[in-house]
Amino acid sequence: MAKELSIKDLEKKASELRIAALKAISKAGSGHTGSSMSLMDALVTLYYAGGAEEEDYVILSKGHGAPAQYAILADKGFFDKSELDHLRQAGALLQGHPVVKIPGIAVSTGSLGQGFSVAHGIALSLKLDKENQKVFVVLGDGELQEGIVWETAMSAAHYMSNNLIAIVDNNGLQIDGSCKKVMNVQPIRDKFVAFGWRVIEVVDGHDFEELIDAVRRARAEERKPVCIWCHTVKGKGVPFAENKVEYHGVALSEEEMKVAEAELKCN
Amino acid sequence: MANYHIKLEGELEKQATRKSFGEALVKLGAKREGIVVLDADLSCSVQTAKFAAEFPERHFNMGIAEQNMLGAAAGFATRGKIPFACTFSVFATGRPWEIIRNSICYPNLNVKILGSHAGVLTGEDGASHQALEDIAIMRALPNMKVVQPADHVEALSVMEKIVDDYGPTYLRVLRQGTPLLYSDERPCNFEFGKADVLFDSGKGSGSKPGKVDLCVFATGALVGSSLEAALKLTEEDGKKVLVYNMSSLKPIDEDAILEGAGRAKVCVAAEDHNTIGGLGSAVADVLAGEGVGVRLVKIGVKDAFGESGKPADLYKKYGFDAEGVYKSLRSTG
Ligand SMILES: Cc1ncc(C[n+]2csc(CCOP(=O)(O)OP(=O)(O)O)c2C)c(N)n1
Ligand SMILES: [Mg+2]
């Protein structure tokens, strides 16, 4: 494991990575700004705070949040940072949604719900091979509306797949509006509990202390799959985009990018 | 010039057929109370938001749950409604395919499936979001009709016909604008099972249509590209070219295919879709079935997934823009 980063260091790292992800999206002129910001701190917890071991799997079932993971993988040296300048362009390595040809990406996602199911298959396979790795899989709250999510939840509890840790990026929004209004998925905790999961609630999904503690507890679970239910802010870190459904899938303009960068640098 | 039918000078005005669909839906919704619209969290992208605002009681956002959306559509149709189930083509046809098969096509229910963002023209979102096999998998279903309008005017005409027609139908529309081909001078009157000749530089002056070097069967965005390519081939290379708009992919106009092929040295099928199972395969079936021994060249995505990129860049890369189609046609015949 790399040397421990302090909470301050993690916050600084997350800000840098936010800037890198936003710049990539902005340069591409297309991509999911809000969605990439809400899950960033959970990913930083996994990749930089010892949340995930090197051999663990980190899968974005909400594949449209890919720029956040791409920024991290570039920072970690999986591929050259210059690849971020070509995101979503013809012939580029970095596709709009994760694909296994990209170093560091284990599962091709983009069609919501499926990454969760694949993640559980990997978890089952690890157990079969008597391997200790964990499988982390990040889902959107809107994504939970897909039927396959609940088929997966059922089977993971059935097989007592305690090596499967789902992180629900509960930012309250999807594309057509708030999840409550479009198709209510709450109560999320009760649903997962009823399906046989252990649920760990993270009240502030951007607080590293809380996130680190939640992941530590999830790793220690011995019988059940674990859902880390994270309350997050869509667009987190970009004040004018925070909690705004309009910023779900649009790139920041050059002007907006400057403002966002200045904001993130003062944090 | 009279033979060319379609105005092709200068920058052509464009509109995305998904917008035309959204417009038509509101207009028809006012006239037909039986129309209900089901969405899967993409109402802005697939242009159903206007219908939702206008007729909120007949709009159902099912959330990100395409299988349930199609199942519910079957339920609405069971009670005589005209449900439109709308999302991106990949998620409209692929995710709920078996539900479409068993709960919609098997009982022959009047469900209309709207798939937007088809083909590599979808652009930046990349392969996971670019439907390239939707025509194939919808065409294979008994009772299902498959339609892809080439422009705005045709999309409006298609919608009029679709709501009057009975039975499951897949309507394929596009994210990006395509050139306006039809106009008051060249109106569009879409009919299921009918192809439309949009260009014919081999018509000749006599009563019998003359031979052509190339007969192009095109669908969707490739119609515009094929027309521009045909014009250039005619004017710069002295070739004789015939171009059909194949908006009705199923039922397909067998007579038109046989007539066009009968006049041509080489046939071409052009589509933003996998070359397996789409328009090219449908044309090949007709030709082979009738024992027509003409060569058929397929322009399309050759058994591959798409990729991210700006739509125009991808059209260039895949040879789907006018220049690309021109090059393919010139090297063909
Ligand atoms: C199967 C499927 N249907 C629809 C989409 C289109 N889509 C992409 S993101 C999105 C909304 C996701 O909302 P949520 O899961 O809450 O993620 P957030 O962006 O809020 O983190 C939708 C509908 C998709 N990618 N896959
Ligand atoms: Mg959300």
DSSP secondary structure, A209-237, as one string: HHHHHHHHHHHH-SSS-EEEEEE--TTTT
Average pLDDT over residues A197-208: 98
Give yes or no for residue B2 having a pLDDT over 80: no
Average pLDDT, integer, range B41-51: 97
Contact A142 B63 (CB under 8 A): yes
Verify whether the Cβ–Cβ distance B310 to A90 is below 8 Å: yes
Give the pLDDT confidence score for residue B4 in this predicted structure. 52
Could you give the CA distance from residue B92 to residue B205 in angstroms, rounded to a whole number?
47
Would you identify the CATH topology of the domain B196-332? Rossmann fold (3.40.50)
Contact B64 A113 (CB under 8 A): yes
Report the C-alpha gap between A62 and A121 in whole angstroms.
Answer: 17
Ligand 1 proximity of A141 Cβ (cutoff 6 Å):
yes
Q: Which of residues 109-128 of B touch A (CB under 8 A)?
A: 123-128
A1 falls within a domain:
no
Burial grade of B330 (CB within 10 A; 0-12, 13-18, 19 or more): middle
State mean pLDDT over B252-265.
98
For A228, list phi and psi in degrees, rounded to 5. Answer: -95, 110
Hey, of B47, B88, B124, which one would you mutate to test binding to chain A, going by the most A CBs within 10 A of its CB? B124
Does residue A234's CB lie within 6 angstroms of at least one atom of ligand 1?
yes
CA distance A138 to B38: 28
Q: Are the Cβ atoms of A110 and B95 closer than 8 angstroms? A: no
**Cα dihedral value B226, B232, B233, B235, nearest 10:** 140
Find, among B132, B149, B46, B142, the residue nearest to B93 by Cα: B132
A165 inside domain: yes
Asked, for residue A31, whether it belongs to a domain, the answer is yes
Q: What is the mean pLDDT of residues B44-67?
A: 98
Rounded to 5 degrees, what are φ and ψ at B56?
-60, -30
The distance of Cα B74 from the centroid of its chain, to the nearest Å, equals 24
**Mean local confidence (pLDDT), A75-98:** 98
CB pair distance less than 8 Å for B39 and A143: no
Q: Give the pLDDT mean for A2-27.
A: 94
Confidence bin at B237 (pLDDT 50/70/90): very high
Residue A65 is given by DSSP the state: G
Binding site membership of A62 for ligand 1 (Cβ less than 6 Å)? yes
**Is B41 close to ligand 1, i.e. is its CB under 6 Å away?**
yes
- pLDDT value, residue B1: 38
Distance CA B270, CA A248 (A): 35
Q: Which of A92, A109, A111 sits opposite B308 (nearest CB)?
A: A92
DSSP string, B151-215: SHHHHHHHHHHHHHS-S-EEEE--SS-EE----SSS-----TT--EEEEETT--SSSS---EEEE
CB of A70 within 8 A of CB of A36?
A: no
Cα–Cα distance measured from residue A141 to residue B64, given in angstroms and rounded to the nearest whole number: 10
Supply φ then ψ for residue A95, to 5 degrees.
-80, 165
- CATH class, range B14-179: alpha beta
Q: Return the amino acid letter for A241.
A: A
The per-residue pLDDT for B234 is 97
Calculate how close chain B gets to A141, using CA atoms only, in Å: 10
Count the helices and strands in chain A (H runs, E runs). 10, 5
Q: What is the pTM of this model?
A: 0.96
Residues of chain B with CATH 3.40.50.920: 196-332
CA B113 – CA B167 distance, rounded (Å): 11
Q: Does the beta carbon of B67 lie under 8 angstroms from any beta carbon of chain A?
A: yes
Question: Is the beta carbon of A27 within 6 A of some atom in ligand 1?
Answer: no
Please say if the pLDDT value at position B53 is more than 50: yes
C-beta separation of A6 from A228 below 8 A: no
The verdict on A88 touching B (C-beta cutoff 8 Å) is yes
Provide the pLDDT confidence category of residue A66 given band limits of 50, 70 and 90.
very high
Distance B210 CA to ligand 1 centre (A): 53
Q: Is residue A173 domain-resident?
A: yes
Establish if A256 belongs to a structural domain.
yes
In chain A, positions 176-235, which contact chain B (CB-CB < 8 Å)?
176, 179, 182-183, 185
CB atoms within 10 A of CB B54: 14
Give the Cα separation of A210 and A216 in Å (integer): 10
State pLDDT tens for residues A101-152. Answer: 999 999 999 999 999 999 999 999 999 999 999 999 999 999 999 999 999 9
Q: Kindly report the CATH number assigned to the domain that includes residue A106.
A: 3.40.50.970
pLDDT of residue A1: 44
> What is the pLDDT at residue A36?
98
Domain, as residue range, for A192: 7-266
The catalytic position among B13, B23, B66, B124 is: B66
* Distance of alpha carbon A133 from alpha carbon B244, whole angstroms: 57
Both structure tokens of B41:
């969290």
B64, A96: Cβ pair inside 8 Å? no
Range with lowest mean pLDDT among B1-10, B202-211, B294-303: B1-10
Distance A107 CA to ligand 2 centre (A): 21
Residue among A96, A142, A147 minimizing CB distance to B68: A147
Residues in chain B, total: 333
Question: What mean pLDDT do residues B216-220 have?
Answer: 98
Min distance A89 CA to chain B CA atoms (Å): 4
> Which secondary structure element, helix H or strand E, spans residue B124, and what is its range?
none
Strands (E), chain B: 14-15, 35-39, 59-61, 82-88, 112-116, 145-147, 169-172, 178-179, 196-200, 212-218, 241-245, 248-250, 264-274, 295-301
How far apart are the C-alpha atoms of A78 and A98, rounded to whole Å?
14
* Segment 128-147 of chain A within 8 Å of chain B by CB: 142-143, 145-147
* Pocket mutation for ligand 1, best pick of A62, A149, A188 (most atoms within 8 Å of C-beta): A62
- Dig out the tokens for B1 from the structure: 């010039």
Q: Does the CB atom of residue A140 touch ligand 1 within 6 A?
A: yes
A251, part of any domain:
yes
Residue B57 annotated as catalytic: no
**Dihedrals φ, ψ of A50, to 5°?**
75, 10
- The mean pLDDT value of chain B amounts to 96
Atom of ligand 1 minimally distant from the CA of A143: 15
3-state secondary structure A134-184: CEEEEEECCHHHCHHHHHHHHHHHHCCCCCEEEEEEECCECCCCEHHHHHC
Number of domains in chain A: 1
pLDDT (mean) for B158-184: 97
Quote the CA–CA distance of B304 and A106 in Å, as a whole number.
21
